[in-house]
Amino acid sequence: MNKITVQPTALGSLIKILHITDPTLPIGGFSHSNGLETYVQQNLVKNASSTQDFVESMLKNNYKFNDGLAVKLAYDFTLKKNLNEILKLDNECNALKAPLEIREGSQKLGIRLIKIYAALLDDPFLNEINKRIEQKKMQGHYSVIFGIVTSILKIDAEKAVCAFLYNAAVGMVTNAVKLVPLGQTDGQHIIHNVEGLIETLTLEILELNRDMLGVCNTALDIKCMQHEYLYSRLYMS
Amino acid sequence: MEKYSLKTGLREQTILKDVYFTPPFNLVEVRENKKNPLLEMMVMSSSPGILNDDFYDINIEVIDGSSLNLQTQSYQRIYISEKGTNQHMNISVGVNAYFSHVPHPVVPHKGARYTAKNTIHIKNSSTLLWAEILTCGRKHMGEGELFQFKKHHAITEIIQEEVLIFKDNLYIVPEEINLKEFGQYEEFTHQGSLFFITPETDVIERMENIAQRLSKEEGISYGISKVLDNAYVLRILGNEGEQLYKLFTQIRKEEDYLINQRLRLN
């Protein structure tokens, strides 16, 4: 393998954010709809307007209290090199994700993400986490690994959380464009329209109490569970 | 602080070993068939519901090899409160022990604030059936009191041999959250969750039976999914507390029946 040509300097963290949130990062994010496919099949998400409603509600009711907060917590525990708290958090994420496909999807993405970054960074803490996953002592949920990696990469906490939410929004919109279907411009309008919301939620997540981790979205959980029984499926969740 | 605690004992059937309660509680045995191995207890209360500043402290110990079903007497009303009402419930279910609990729906009145923490410790060989139902309030009173409560925050943790295997964090603050939004309550007003774990190798047959039965039910949306090979979670949204309570109670009665059968054979 070739070596690094030039070490990134001032723009370093921007490049690193762009890299970890790049949709072409081969972790398999786009094979998961996280419940959206059920909503589309049941004709509840059916046009640009209902897609935006869906994306907004997912961001502020689901991502904020679940994966978004988990990113922030994992980020902080990594700064303190607190492996025990990371293990506890990862297990808590597992216990909070009741729908099977959501739980397994989050594990698959997390494991692929850590495989990539363990190879790129060769960081002792990350290697330790990777070892626990290989030994099946940890599940390796996507949000937790994302928080760990962005912390090791010295990306600012708020930028890491913001990038995670943005990536989630892009993922939902990309899936909606294919599933609903929507025009490409409609999709871009939605991303543009939720940019402010993503910033607001980022700041709220940084202030959230640990007690709020995993607030249940009952109807979403039900739709994600119903996905297991859909007659035809394009997505794994 | 309002308290009750109970501990099972074991002879040829499960018996009530220790019981303690303060007003407004009373615990009575309601085992219909006196020969059944499963101990059935009912919590009764002389209070109309959880009132301002109430702090319910509940401790239940189901010892190794014993089996307990705990029932409630009526809907749990939560009254208006400024400081908020609390409930702490600690349960431990021993080796080869059984515990089932499907309480009546919780009805938070206008202005109610409620925080609950339920912690359930189980062993690899324990069987647990646990359910909760939350209504929107006194829907049928006057012009309807829908989601007029201030806050409902209930955290349930199920810990198997020191490992957290299921956590439910139910946080409903109607002023903050538009419950009609995607992923929340959508077109419904009531929600229920039921968790079940057995030492048997899988729960697929049970899940299929439940899904088949629920598919014939009107006015609900439901999902059932495996949490572990031997555990499932069932979530339902609906518009009537009684309907959800009946559906959950039926599942509970089937498991109670199975445990009675199994213990009789042993």
Tokens encoding A141? 């949920």
Q: Which of A91, A96, A217 sits opposite B183 (nearest CB)?
A: A217
Residue A91 has pLDDT above 80, yes or no: yes
pLDDT score, position A10: 63
DSSP string over A121-144: H--HHHHHHHHHHHTTS----HHH
User: Quick one: CA torsion of A138, A141, A144, A146, rounded to 10 degrees?
Assistant: 130
Task: Verify whether the Cβ–Cβ distance B225 to A65 is below 8 Å.
Answer: no
What is the rounded CA–CA span in Å between residue A165 and residue A195? 10
Burial B92-101 (b: 16+ CB within 10 A, else e): bbbebbbbbb
For chain A, where are the alpha helices, taking DSSP H only? 12-20, 36-41, 48-57, 67-79, 83-96, 100-121, 124-134, 142-152, 157-179, 184-193, 195-207, 218-227
Is the separation of the CB atoms in B184 and A186 below 8 Å?
Answer: no
Any bridge partners for residue B237, and if so which? B191, B221
- Cα-flanking dihedrals φ and ψ of residue A141, to 5°? -70, 145
Mean pLDDT score, A81-96 = 98
Residue A119 has pLDDT above 70, yes or no: yes
For chains A and B, what is the number of CB pairs under 8 angstroms?
102
In this structure, of A17-26, A110-119, B202-211, the range with the lowest mean pLDDT score is: A17-26
Which residues lie below 8 Å from residue B127, measured CB to CB, with a gap of 6+? Answer: B93, B97, B98, B99, B197, B198, B199, B255, B259
Which residues in chain A have their CB less than 8 angstroms from residue B166's CB? Answer: 95, 98
pLDDT score, position A30: 83
In this structure, how many other beta carbons lie within 10 angstroms of the beta carbon of residue B264?
12
Residues of A at the B interface, defined by Cβ within 8 angstroms: 35, 39, 44-45, 53-54, 56-58, 61-62, 65, 91-92, 95-96, 98-101, 211-226, 228-229
Angle made by CA atoms B72, B73, B74, in degrees to the nearest 5: 100
Q: Which of A61, A99, A225 sits opposite B183 (nearest CB)?
A: A61
Tokens encoding A52? 């935006």
B123 three-class SS: coil
Any bridge partners for residue B28, and if so which? B42
What is the rounded CA–CA span in Å between residue B126 and residue B131? 16
**pLDDT, tens only, B52-98:** 789 999 999 999 999 999 999 999 999 998 889 999 999 999 999 99
Which residues in chain A have their CB less than 8 angstroms from residue B185's CB? Answer: 218-219
Is the separation of the CB atoms in B6 and B16 below 8 Å?
Answer: yes
Residues of chain B with pLDDT > 90: what percent? 91
Give the best residue of A180, A222, A231 to mutate against chain B (max B CB count within 10 A): A222
What is the rounded CA–CA span in Å between residue B46 and residue B26? 8
Q: List the single residue in A with minimal CA-CA distance to B222.
A: A222
ipTM confidence: 0.96
Q: How confident is the model at residue A207 (pLDDT cuts 50, 70, 90)?
A: very high
In this structure, how many other beta carbons lie within 10 angstroms of the beta carbon of residue A72?
25
Q: How confident is the model at residue A9 (pLDDT cuts 50, 70, 90)?
A: low
pLDDT score, position A4: 80
Q: Which domains does chain A have, with CATH numbers?
A: 31-227 (1.10.4190.10)
Q: Positive or negative, the Cα torsion across B238, B240, B245, B247?
A: negative
Among B187, B157, B156, smallest CA distance to B170 is for B156
What is the rounded CA–CA span in Å between residue B93 and residue B121? 6
What is the rounded CA–CA span in Å between residue A54 and residue A190? 10
Is the separation of the CB atoms in A71 and A106 below 8 Å?
Answer: no
Q: Give the residue with greater pLDDT, A91 vs B48.
A: A91
pLDDT score, position A209: 94
**pLDDT, tens only, A156-190:** 999 999 999 999 999 999 999 999 999 999 999 99
Give the best residue of B168, B225, B227, B239 to mutate against chain A (max A CB count within 10 A): B225
Among B6, B9, B148, B154, smallest CA distance to B80 is for B148
Residue A50 has pLDDT above 80, yes or no: yes
Tokens encoding B112? 């109610």
- Cα-flanking dihedrals φ and ψ of residue A183, to 5°? -75, 155
pLDDT score, position B168: 98
Mean pLDDT score, A54-62 = 98
Any bridge partners for residue B6, and if so which? B19, B60
pLDDT score, position B52: 79
Specify the residue for token string 């009531």.
B190
Residues of B at the A interface, defined by Cβ within 8 angstroms: 153, 155, 157-158, 163-171, 177, 181-186, 188, 191, 193, 211, 221-227, 233, 235-237
**pLDDT, tens only, A59-69:** 999 999 999 99
Task: Verify whether the Cβ–Cβ distance A229 to B211 is below 8 Å.
Answer: yes
Is the separation of the CB atoms in A58 and A168 below 8 Å?
Answer: yes
Which residues in chain A have their CB less than 8 angstroms from residue B163's CB? Answer: 91
Which residue type sits at A214?
G
Radius of gyration, CA atoms only, chain A: 17
Residue A236 has pLDDT above 80, yes or no: yes
- Maximum Cα–Cα distance for chain B, whole Å? 55
Which residues in chain B have their CB less than 8 angstroms from residue A45's CB? Answer: 182
**pLDDT, tens only, B175-220:** 999 999 999 999 999 999 999 999 998 999 999 999 999 999 999 9
Is the separation of the CB atoms in B99 and B128 below 8 Å?
Answer: yes
Q: How confident is the model at residue A8 (pLDDT cuts 50, 70, 90)?
A: low
Is the separation of the CB atoms in B123 and B160 below 8 Å?
Answer: yes
Among B207, B110, B192, B103, smallest CA distance to A216 is for B192
Which residues lie below 8 Å from residue B35, measured CB to CB, with a gap of 6+? Answer: B13
